[in-house]
Structure 1
Amino acid sequence: MMTQIIPVNESRICNFTKITENCQLFRYINGYDNKAITKLEEDFPLAFGIRLYNSPEQVEQILRIIYRPHNFYCIHVDTGSDIHIFNSLKAVARCFENVVVLSKIRTLYSSIRLVEADLLCMKEALKSTIQWKYFLNMAGEEVPLKTNLKMVQICRLLQGRNEIESEPAPPFAIRRMKWVYNLTEFEMIKTKVLKMPFTLNVRLRKGCAYGTFARKFVHFVFKNDIANDLFEFLKDTYAPEEVFFNTLNSVDGAPGGYNVTITNANRDFLSRSIKWQWDRHFKCPGKFRRNICVFNNKALPWLVKQPEMIVNKMDGDYDQVVIDCMEEYLHNKTLQAGVNGFNKTRYLQYPHIKDLHKKNKKNLWDKI
């Protein structure tokens, strides 16, 4: 599918270069330094990688929602984006020692370049002196549903396991890998060339491109030969971002991995709240884009009750109110950290957490 570069009206882009000249004032006005932070959070730093093509204002808003001085943040701006978007976010990053902004890849929907952009941010995270425990990849049109503290509490329940949607690749996903696709700057072109058979002794799995990855698993992605071979096999296929991490998670010896089926449809995938157009049990309070619900403010009463960590998707150009309300809601929740406890019961019923609890019930509860 052809990806069109949309000219950016510079007047619509917030002049971050100007307003970040005084970093102390910028941080104060935008509330970066007024977060209530617990020792639990300080002892359990997280890393975030955010991919975006446009909407630098929305990404800055996401950053200020999830920002904590002890975490690590990497933002990858598509090289096909307007240069003012990169410069704007680069100006923001200048005010923080733990925020990195890159622009190295022209990402393309359903191509290996999405994986490459995530890997770039993972590399930056590993180079950081911050000893983060989990890496969460995000898109520019996603918004957290949980405070940083709640995310930490959920990640601690994982006990070093990944949180990746994964199921055996269905026939339609296997068919996508039957033919070679050529990548140009703007599109993927299906050829009539059959791919060589997948020869690794690994069963391909499919799932969401976004997840929560344990630090040891991120190391594994870069150092394991199977990971490299799988990447090479997938790089000229359609939608490899829905196969790469999902398959590696099931490889024998993969840190934090498992073969349990975890799916959004079964409501046991914690990293994302995402609603597809073919979900018969859900009516989208918004509109669909690429078969995914773009939520508006009518969804707020439903969203705040969901157990997942992040919602996909929200678009400020469509409805800024829903994002602003989520920001205020999460800010208030942060202030109430000592008032409202963490209800573990629901999370301990998820299959990839439940078996950990069964194996060593006392030890698990002692560590929470």
Structure 2
Amino acid sequence: MSQLRATKSGLLICTVVGIFIFLYLRNPTQEEPEEEPTYPAVAECGFYPDELCSALFERKGAAPEIAKFCKNPQRSEILAHLHAPGNCSRISQGLHFITRPLSAEEGNFSLAYIITTHKQLAMFVQLLRAIYVPQNVYCIHVDEKAPKKHKTAVQTLVNCFENVFIASKRKKVAYTGFTRLQADINCMRDLVHSKFQWNYVINLCGQDFPIKTNKEIIHYLRSKWNDKNITPGVIQPANIKLKTSQSRPEFSPEENICVSPNTRFKYEAPHNLTIYFGSAYYVLTRKFVEFILTDIRAKDMLQWSKGIRSPEHHYWVTLNRLKDAPGATPNAGWEGNVRAVKCRHEEGNVHDGCKGHYVQDTCVYGLGDLPWIIQSPSLFAHKFEPSADPLVVRCLERRHRWAVLRQADVPAEPHWHFPQQSHFNMDLNG
């Protein structure tokens, strides 16, 4: 009897919240009450209205407060598919993967991706299916320190796609340090020796998410860069007063891309290289990757990089400024629009503040950051923690898939669509 009362209570709470969302979002011009109403906590509401996502993108006042009442039911759906593996067709269709090229243009222009992951399996799956198309190729570096369940689930997913594979060499990765740099290079070597042809390689971590579609990324690369590498950065600033310890241990299980440059180096760079400071994230041509793996300057700089802090912020941009490197951009600066990031020191200048919370001076996005993210010209955004605000990625994912299918030149398969969700579609078992 008590279980029945609990079920009825949950039904009543979800119904009340659903009605409130419906009335508010259908009548957005109504005046807000003088006092903020209080609502009972809802453990699992089991629905995410598309109207609520739209309201969050449009900065409608009460939407972030409403969104707090429900947890994301999708995580359990994703984990169920990967922890109880069946045939691959069921996995790819159940997880809504795109299974054929969406246009001739995209089919003839392949991208390679390097993704490093060590936790948050559901977020990894959301990222992979957002960027996945069968003509691209994906190297997944699963951190050696990742839990066994995470490794097993990633392997289960990877086994279902010919063009997705685990890096042949894996390391315990500190996400700002030499091992981070080495993980990318290991994947690059695998990608070059794979049977797949590709035009550019893009590196991602498990807390990134695309803002642009595959077609939009291709258009951007062809129109703005035309066989050039994108490595945002400038000459290592000389006036930064910051302690630099050559023996400093690699730190942080989290990704921190808002680091400062080194002030000095213990040893001179090899081959008289001018050291640049920039983003750890890049878009590189295949020929440049082959250069990285074979050129003596690149090899010697890789060895030199073992002795500096955050070498991934120096390595790619320095080598891409060499005039004879394939696809080099010797005169480039910070341009490139690879990542949308909110760094604490740029608050009030580059962005309007972090609406989520900062981790090591990098913003973990909250619901209030969604309008800023979708207005960014960048290809990807960093960084997300679905455990903190699951609806942030959920809304971006649904918006991204809608854009992908709208731009497609082929009819959409039924499983490419995410389930329609509105205030009338409630799964109380979610």
Q: TM-score range by the shorter chain?
A: 0.7 to 0.9
Deviation of 1:199 after TM superposition, in Å, equals: 4.1
Query: Residue 317 of structure 1 is aligned with which of 387, 397, 401?
Result: 387
- Over the aligned positions, Cα root-mean-square deviation in angstroms equals 2.4
Secondary structure of the 2:197 match is coil
Secondary structure of the 1:117 match is helix
CA contact (8 A) 1:32 1:67 kept: yes
Residue by residue over 1:128-148, the C-alpha shift from the partner in whole angstroms, topping out at 9 and shown as x without a partner, is 222110000001100000111
| Unmatched tracts of structure 1, length 5 or more | 1-10, 188-193, 340-368
How far apart in 2 are the matches of 1:12 and 1:29?
9
Structure 2 residue identity aligned to 1:142? D
CA contact (8 A) 1:19 1:26 kept: no
Deviation of 1:182 after TM superposition, in Å, equals: 6.3
How far apart in 2 are the matches of 1:307 and 1:97?
32
Q: Pick closer, same or farther for the CA change 1:331–1:36 going to 2, 3 Å.
A: farther
TM-score, normalising length from structure 2?
0.69
Structure 2 residue identity aligned to 1:108? A
Q: Give 1:132's aligned residue.
A: 198
Q: Give 1:221's aligned residue.
A: 292
Residue by residue over 1:147-169, the C-alpha shift from the partner in whole angstroms, topping out at 9 and shown as x without a partner, is 11111111112111011112001
CA contact (8 A) 1:47 1:136 kept: yes
Deviation of 1:174 after TM superposition, in Å, equals: 9.8
Secondary structure of the 1:14 match is helix
How far apart in 1 are the matches of 2:278 and 2:250?
25
Query: Residue 249 of structure 1 is aligned with which of 320, 328, 349?
Result: 320
Q: Give 2:277's aligned residue.
A: 206
Q: Which moved more, 1:94-103 or 1:229-238?
A: 94-103
Query: Residue 168 of structure 1 is aligned with which of 198, 219, 235?
Result: 235
Residue by residue over 1:38-88, the C-alpha shift from the partner in whole angstroms, topping out at 9 and shown as x without a partner, is 111111000000112211111111111110001001111111111111111
Q: Pick closer, same or farther for the CA change 1:205–1:21 going to 2, 3 Å.
A: same
Secondary structure of the 1:164 match is coil
Q: Give 1:46's aligned residue.
A: 111
Q: Pick closer, same or farther for the CA change 1:173–1:89 going to 2, 3 Å.
A: farther
Q: Pick closer, same or farther for the CA change 1:180–1:338 going to 2, 3 Å.
A: closer
CA contact (8 A) 2:98 2:129 kept: no
Q: Give 1:59's aligned residue.
A: 124
Q: Give 1:333's aligned residue.
A: 403
Q: Give 2:170's aligned residue.
A: 104
Q: Give 1:290's aligned residue.
A: 360
Q: Pick closer, same or farther for the CA change 1:35–1:286 going to 2, 3 Å.
A: farther
Deviation of 1:14 after TM superposition, in Å, equals: 2.2
**Structure exhibiting the larger radius of gyration computed from Cα positions:** 2
Secondary structure of the 1:262 match is coil
How far apart in 2 are the matches of 1:195 and 1:165?
25
How far apart in 1 are the matches of 2:296 and 2:241?
22
How far apart in 1 are the matches of 2:252 and 2:105?
45
Secondary structure of the 1:235 match is helix
CA contact (8 A) 2:101 2:133 kept: no
TM-score, normalising length from structure 1?
0.80
| Unmatched tracts of structure 2, length 5 or more | 1-75, 254-264, 410-430
Structure 2 residue identity aligned to 1:293? C
Residue by residue over 1:206-254, the C-alpha shift from the partner in whole angstroms, topping out at 9 and shown as x without a partner, is 1110111111111110011000111111112111010011101011311
- Is 1:119 the counterpart of 2:185 in the alignment? yes
Q: Give 2:145's aligned residue.
A: 80
Aligned residues: 318
How far apart in 2 are the matches of 1:211 and 1:82?
28
Select the structure that is richer in strand. Answer: 1
- Is 1:240 the counterpart of 2:305 in the alignment? no
Q: Pick closer, same or farther for the CA change 1:250–1:28 going to 2, 3 Å.
A: same
Secondary structure of the 1:37 match is coil
CA contact (8 A) 1:106 1:185 kept: no
Percent of aligned positions with the same letter in both sequences? 26
Q: Pick closer, same or farther for the CA change 1:64–1:13 going to 2, 3 Å.
A: closer
Deviation of 1:260 after TM superposition, in Å, equals: 2.4
CA contact (8 A) 2:200 2:283 kept: yes
Q: Pick closer, same or farther for the CA change 1:80–1:271 going to 2, 3 Å.
A: same
Secondary structure of the 1:146 match is coil
Deviation of 1:17 after TM superposition, in Å, equals: 4.4
How far apart in 1 are the matches of 2:312 and 2:154?
25
Q: Pick closer, same or farther for the CA change 1:184–1:45 going to 2, 3 Å.
A: closer
Q: Pick closer, same or farther for the CA change 1:36–1:330 going to 2, 3 Å.
A: farther
Q: Give 1:276's aligned residue.
A: 343
